[in-house]
Amino acid sequence: MSKLVILESPTKAKTVQKYLGPGYTVTACAGHLRDLPEKKLGIEIEHNFKPQYVNMKGKEEIIARLRQAAADSDGVLLATDPDREGEAISWHLATLLGLDDQKPIRVTFNEITKNCVTAGIKTPRGIDRQLVDAQQSRRALDRLVGYKLSPFLWKKVRRGLSAGRVQSVAVRLVVDREQEIEAFRPEEYWSLDAKFSVKGERKTFQAHYFGTADGTKQEVTNGEQANAILASLDGADYAVTKVKKGTRTRQPAPPFITSTLQQEASRKLNMTGQRTMRIAQELYEGVSVEGIGATGLITYMRTDSLRISDEARAEGMAYIRKAYGDAYLPDKQRVFRAASGAQDGHEAIRPTIPSLTPDQVKASLTAEQYKLYKLIWERFIAALMAPCLQNTVNVDITARDALFKASGFTVKFEGYTVLYEEGSDDEDEQAASLPAMKEGDALTLRELIPNQHFTKPPARYTEATLIEAFKQNGIGRPSTYAPTIATILSREYIVREKKSLMPTELGKVTTQLMKDLFSDIVDVKFTAGMEKNLDLVASGEKTYEKVMEAFYRPFAKTLAAAEESMQGKKVELNDTMTDEVCPNCGKPMVIKFGRFGKFMACSGYPECKTTKPIVTPAKGVCPMCGAQILQKKSTRGYKYFGCETAPKCDFMTWNEPTDQLCPQCGKTLFKKRGMLLCETEGCGYEQKAARKSRKTAGDNE
């Protein structure tokens, strides 16, 4: 007989089985097996908020299989993910299998490598009930808010809506930002931009008006003021009055944590947070690498710690020394400090084998896995490298009573920037190189142009900046960032316009209702305080019962007051007008929401009851009849593609059409899991899809 090891993921189970060998049987539970019931509250409010867990539907065969495997084994080790959620899954497994959860039955792996797995197996412990209680608190709080508030929103706004302890605050952030933008009033300002050249040279450089010659900064707020300065400089001589040279040191960004990984993947790879985490999970669980076999390529991807193990640091620095030389190693070992309140249970996200370069594993990975591994690997290696050194120069140029300034830099030593530079959501002006100048040099004015500007409103959130707002405000945990954004998008509280996130009318109306009636639920500080309470449960400083009691009693009173104040009332949504006109009466069509999502209806309802589905044209043409292909949505919300002439032509496919044509029959090619294939009956052509280049690669999810 052998010991039974239970993990969450079948993929990870295969990798761990390879490392542990014949003395162990490794299997997977495929996530949670027990949860609160679907169709009732499932929390005994009057009995210390005791959860009423039930076995999840569809998991009966897995539970039976695990019970039999446990009975046939020499012992059971629970190796679910190393976080609160994983701890709770192990506790539920212990309950289902009749195990004593305080005996040494729990093992964890921060990375799926042979050394880490074998070390973890040798150091089992009891289940951490404080971590389990922290997860139970989150689940119970979310259930209370969702179960009690969602029906209220159904009655007062629209059926099918949901409220959430974190998602409602997330929507509020987007709505509040939109209101800031709408309330913004631009202010005029002017710049005076000059182009100079050094005497005897034709090459020009740029400088900007700063203020008066004594160094007093002067804001130019209108055209009259700008023209007055121009008039005062008519025929003036320009000379260099100060040259200040220096050096600037730029340090690399720290290795990734969950939030920064999602932000950078959004900026550089155009990946959603949810997609980023799914691909990271694949890299963590293990892939088959040519020449190595199945191995996990990165450490655990749900972390807010910046800690790096001594072993990983040494391996990374050895790679830098070999690939770039000693000059690219820092003089002193760099230590990164995590934000206050960060949990230090795991390392930062890093490659498990720092010497394993992206090019070495490229052939073994999908295009998306390769891009994300490359991002993680480069960020980690760069974090260990020497800083970038820049020579800076700042020049003052004076003419009569006017002072202009110019600045620039040259790279003295590229350091970590030879490999990686952090992305940014801001388009900062890049300083240019300047010609050699010294004090007293006369300059030739080539051009002096006044430019009118207006202050800009705050930028809309992108997925990257919204995740940063979650982190800065203490809303949610790293594991909840991506699912929260995905939820409020799917519920149509917000929409994505290119990279920007904008609230819908539904999001605005619902948020205002929540502000009016449930101010705590959508209060950023209140939600952050609840997160701190969950951390205190995890550390044993508060109990599950006390946290639940402190939240629920005031919440129940607020809900009762809201029900009373809104009795007989309903919030009306403003219809979104479209450019289309009703084919029957000629009135504008508006967007409505129904049981299966959005559709268009005549604004003349109820006199005119015309409706139309909302369809999105897709690439390519129907391989059966040559008509336009449309992107459609099934009754369960899944995307598929079909012919615009349906039901006359019944062509449909789950595969995405492309703008490429089949070389055999000339019809549209469709994309499926990295393959291009022809769906024309009798053709059968297929080929591997070409990888996109780094510049054009993206994720339009």
Three-state SS annotation for 328-349: HCCCCCCCCCCCCCCCCCCCCE
pLDDT of the residue at 690: 66
The bridge status of strand 205-212 relative to strand 188-198 is antiparallel
Q: In whole numbers, what is the pLDDT of the chain averaged over residues?
A: 89
Q: With bands split at pLDDT 50, 70 and 90, how would you rate the model's confidence at 56?
A: very high
pLDDT digits (tens, 9 = 90+) for 274-328: 899 999 999 998 898 988 888 899 999 988 889 898 889 999 999 999 999 999 9
pLDDT digits (tens, 9 = 90+) for 378-419: 999 999 999 999 999 999 999 999 999 999 988 999 999 999
**3-state SS class at 63:** helix
- Exposure on the CB side of residue 155, measured as CA atoms within 13 A: 12
pLDDT of residue 342 exceeding 80, the answer is no
Which of 19, 53, 209, 300 is labelled catalytic? 300
Q: Is the peptide bond before 606 cis (omega within 30 degrees of 0)?
A: yes
Decide which of 1.10.620.20, 1.10.287.3510, 2.70.20.10, 1.10.10.10 is the CATH code for 188-251+388-454: 2.70.20.10
Residue of higher predicted confidence among 4 and 606: 4
pLDDT of the residue at 696: 34
pLDDT of the residue at 697: 33
Task: Find all residues with CB under 8 Å of 694, minimum gap 6, and list them.
Answer: 371
* Lowest mean pLDDT, pick from 168-182, 331-345, 346-360: 331-345
Angle 447-453-459 (CA atoms, 0-180°, nearest 5)? 135
pLDDT digits (tens, 9 = 90+) for 211-222: 999 999 999 999
pLDDT of residue 357 exceeding 60, the answer is yes
Cα(502)–Cα(494) distance, rounded to whole angstroms?
A: 5
- Provide φ and ψ at 68, rounded to 5°: -65, -40
Q: Is the peptide bond before 37 cis (omega within 30 degrees of 0)?
A: no
242 Rama sector, left if φ>0, alpha if ψ -120 to 50, beta otherwise: beta
pLDDT of the residue at 161: 81
- Provide φ and ψ at 375, rounded to 5°: -65, -45
Residue type for position 241? T
Contact criterion met (CB below 8 Å) for 211 and 232: no
Q: With bands split at pLDDT 50, 70 and 90, how would you rate the model's confidence at 672?
A: confident
pLDDT of the residue at 261: 95
Decide which of 3.40.50.140, 3.40.640.10, 3.30.70.940, 3.20.20.70 is the CATH code for 3-127: 3.40.50.140
What residues does each domain of the chain span?
Answer: 3-127, 136-183+459-565, 188-251+388-454, 258-383, 575-614, 615-701
pLDDT digits (tens, 9 = 90+) for 232-275: 999 999 999 999 999 999 999 999 999 999 999 998 998 888 89
Cα(173)–Cα(461) distance, rounded to whole angstroms?
A: 9
- Exposure on the CB side of residue 459, measured as CA atoms within 13 A: 12
* Lowest mean pLDDT, pick from 114-128, 131-145, 436-450, 483-497: 483-497
pLDDT of the residue at 42: 94
pLDDT of residue 596 exceeding 80, the answer is no
What percentage of the chain carries pLDDT values higher than 90?
A: 64
pLDDT of the residue at 597: 56
Contacts 24+ apart (CB under 8 A), 44-52: 45/552, 48/545, 48/548, 49/140, 49/544, 49/545, 49/548, 49/549, 49/552, 51/136, 51/139, 51/140
Angle 367-370-374 (CA atoms, 0-180°, nearest 5)? 145
Q: DSSP E strands: which ranges in 379-441?
A: 388-399, 402-413
pLDDT of residue 174 exceeding 80, the answer is yes
pLDDT digits (tens, 9 = 90+) for 597-624: 567 888 888 889 888 777 788 888 999 8
pLDDT digits (tens, 9 = 90+) for 429-465: 455 678 889 999 999 999 999 999 999 999 999 999 9
Q: Which of 557, 567, 586, 196 is nearest to 398 (CA)?
A: 196
pLDDT digits (tens, 9 = 90+) for 476-526: 888 889 889 989 988 889 988 878 999 988 899 999 999 999 999 999 999
Cα(389)–Cα(602) distance, rounded to whole angstroms?
A: 64
The topology under which CATH files domain 258-383 is Topoisomerase I; domain 4 (1.10.290)
pLDDT of residue 594 exceeding 70, the answer is no
For 225, the token pair is 């003021």
Measured over the CA atoms of residue 431, residue 433, residue 435 and residue 437, the dihedral's sign is: positive
Angle 463-468-473 (CA atoms, 0-180°, nearest 5)? 125
- The pTM assigned to this predicted structure is 0.76
Contact criterion met (CB below 8 Å) for 151 and 144: no
pLDDT of residue 422 exceeding 50, the answer is yes
For 497, the token pair is 């316009």
The bridge status of strand 76-78 relative to strand 3-7 is parallel
Examine the residue annotation and report whether 493 is marked as an active-site residue of this protein.
Answer: no
What is the second-level CATH architecture of the domain 136-183+459-565? Orthogonal Bundle (1.10)
